Structure 1
Amino acid sequence: MDAEFAIRELTEDDVPAVVTLCAGALDLPEDAAEAAEIVLRLRERPAPESPAQHRTLGYVAVDLGGVVLGTVLCSIAQRDASVGHIDLIAVRPDARRRGIGRALIVRAEAGLAGLGATEVLIAGNSPYYAWPGIDVRYTPAVCTAMALGYEQDRTAWNMTAHLTPGSKAVRETATAERRLQENGITVRPAMRDDIPRLIDFAERNFGGDWPGEITDSIGRDRAGCHLAVRGDEILGFAAYGSSRPSWFGPMGTAATAEGLGIGGVLLRRCLADQRAHGHDRVEIGWVGPLPFYSGAAGARIERVFFLYRKQL
């Protein structure tokens, strides 16, 4: 290890310095602008249901004067305690090429191994993640992962919806909502009392990855969720802001309700909220149905991520 820096565990007292570090170290403006949300969200994992589940670790590299030069946040996978995740790695621009990033990841691997991990992913640990993987434009991070023996096994992408006048993303929804109302379908904001039914709907229709994101989108500052119901039956939902204020997702429509236009209405209601919060562009995270978002909101792929894994 470089004699001019040391690595130790991150403490709560370090968090303000880590936020400042990330604001200056994250090269893409959309990431730097939300550095506080990224760091704090990754640190807010809920109480574990088992000793290792949801466990988060963090380390900082500091110089001889105690100044934070770099940081890494990591965690145990939500569903599999044998899998660890590197959630965030950042090094001050003026401290790069000194082996700090490499040393932080090695320390993170050791910490995760101590919690029982036998494999480490550089990939988003749903439901609390900052990125699906490494943005391909973060070239130093890609190079470091490869040098440490990580193998790329997947690719993911975000789409961007621009909330400017004339964009499909800001089209009104009142006309479509009236048509839905004629068919007995109501679209409205979700409330805290809706959370248990929404989680049940998501788990039955789409699997178990979304309960945390749904829960944290409702009643949270600069976040929200809209749902479509027919009587007491939930037909679809769309949420935003659970990970970052400028990100949209997740959303889903029941197979029995597809083709009714519910998804487009829910999506644009969320985007209208985000525009009201001051965003002129929104990222749709970890996208699956590309054609839907392109057609409903004029969204385009603008971020591509490499996802990596390594056996310990």
Structure 2
Amino acid sequence: MTIRTAQPADLTALRAVADAALTLDSGAAALVDRLAAPPAGRRWTALATGGLSGDLTGVVFASLSGRDPSVGHIDLLAVHPAAQGAGRGRALVEAAEEWLRAEGARMARFAGNPPCYAWPGIDVRYTPAACLAERLGYTLDTTAWNMTADLSTADLSTEDDIARLADAKVAVISAPTGERGEVAEFVRRHWNDTWAWEAENGTGCHYAVRDGEILGFAAWGSRPAWFGPMGSAPAARGLGIGRVLLRRCLADMRTAGLTEAQIGWVGPLRFYSRAVAARAERVFWLYSRALGDGPPGGG
């Protein structure tokens, strides 16, 4: 079995593999594109099975954490259905681990590497992937979940809230791509570089401002069909800007032709349930294992 570093010319074939294998993700090809264009400075690789680009049957993306370079991530694993059952998935993961080990990683995680990642972890419905992780010696660390908002039925009206905020001298503004430096700096100051990158590089972004001071923001599209991140500064507490920012973003997503939105890596279930009738749906298992000197034994 040949495993090699994927090249830019392989992207079309890698998209096709992801689309065929990742049947729970309608934007699987876009996930490949996103992972192939990570933030500047990220150390990452894409490894593929097969010969020339048109013959590729599997792919794995791996990267080092920007926060702790001793931690590596298995970002995406996909094997074409026609090629499954022949050990390609295991071989790809082991090759990714070898690359991570050579780059200095001492731990590998099946978990999202913010800010540019495919999922928080392994979707529990991709059961063979979870079985493979456990067979390779990974242990379950924690669970994360997404919520889904039905954009065809959700109430996304904001007129009354916008008027109420205007009375409080708060304006809600859309920030076009390329004009989000001030918003990104606000996000970086109150949260972290990860959220700042997502706000700056997402498809859409809205923010609230009063007397020249940014109070909160919300973004969408840093991953296909996903909403987030979103946050409000302490000075915005009690103003109710979160619901407005959320609905403005989801309205953009609906205008873009999306029928549902994934609200990723959710904390406050009640807020999203009340604001847009979102439901908890996708559940992810986050796994890790110490890399040591080589792959574990066993079948």
Pair 1:97–1:75, CA change in 2 (3 A): same
Structure 1 position 259, deviation (Å)? 2.0
Structure 1 position 194, deviation (Å)? 5.2
Structure 1 position 104, deviation (Å)? 0.2
8 A contact 2:9–2:53 mirrored in 1: no
Distance 2:43 2:96 in 1: 13
Distance 2:192 2:201 in 1: 17
Structure 1 position 67, deviation (Å)? 1.4
Structure 1 position 78, deviation (Å)? 1.6
Q: Give CA-to-partner distance per residue, 1:202-228, whole Å, 9 cap, x none.
A: 2332233211101102xxxxx100000
Structure 1 position 193, deviation (Å)? 6.8
Distance 1:158 1:43 in 2: 23
Structure 1 position 45, deviation (Å)? 1.4
Distance 2:18 2:52 in 1: 20
8 A contact 2:220–2:226 mirrored in 1: yes
Identical columns (%): 49
Structure 1 position 231, deviation (Å)? 1.6
Partner in structure 1 of residue 32 of structure 2: 39
Partner in structure 2 of residue 205 of structure 1: 190
8 A contact 1:91–1:100 mirrored in 2: yes
Among 86, 93, 99, the residue aligned to 1:105 = 93
Q: Does 1:134 align with 2:113?
A: no
Distance 1:157 1:147 in 2: 23
Distance 2:23 2:177 in 1: 37
Partner in structure 2 of residue 265 of structure 1: 244
Distance 2:71 2:86 in 1: 29
> Pairwise mapping of residues 287-306 of structure 1 onto structure 2 (< 5 A)?
287-306=266-285
> Pairwise mapping of residues 239-278 of structure 1 onto structure 2 (< 5 A)?
239-244=219-224, 246-278=225-257
Among 181, 206, 211, the residue aligned to 1:196 = 181
Distance 1:128 1:207 in 2: 14
TM-score (normalizing by structure 2):
0.93
Greater CA deviation, 179-188 or 59-68? 59-68
Q: Give CA-to-partner distance per residue, 1:241-295, whole Å, 9 cap, x none.
A: 0122x11000001122122110000000000000000011100011111111111
Q: Give CA-to-partner distance per residue, 1:15-60, whole Å, 9 cap, x none.
A: 11010111111121xx1x2122100110101331xxxxx1110111
Report the AA paired with residue 37 of structure 2. Answer: E
**What is the RMSD computed on CA atoms of the aligned residues?**
1.6
Pair 1:194–1:140, CA change in 2 (3 A): same
Pair 1:66–1:44, CA change in 2 (3 A): closer
Q: Which runs of 5+ in 1 are unaligned?
A: 49-53, 218-222
8 A contact 1:63–1:69 mirrored in 2: no
Distance 2:204 2:53 in 1: 43
Distance 2:140 2:96 in 1: 19
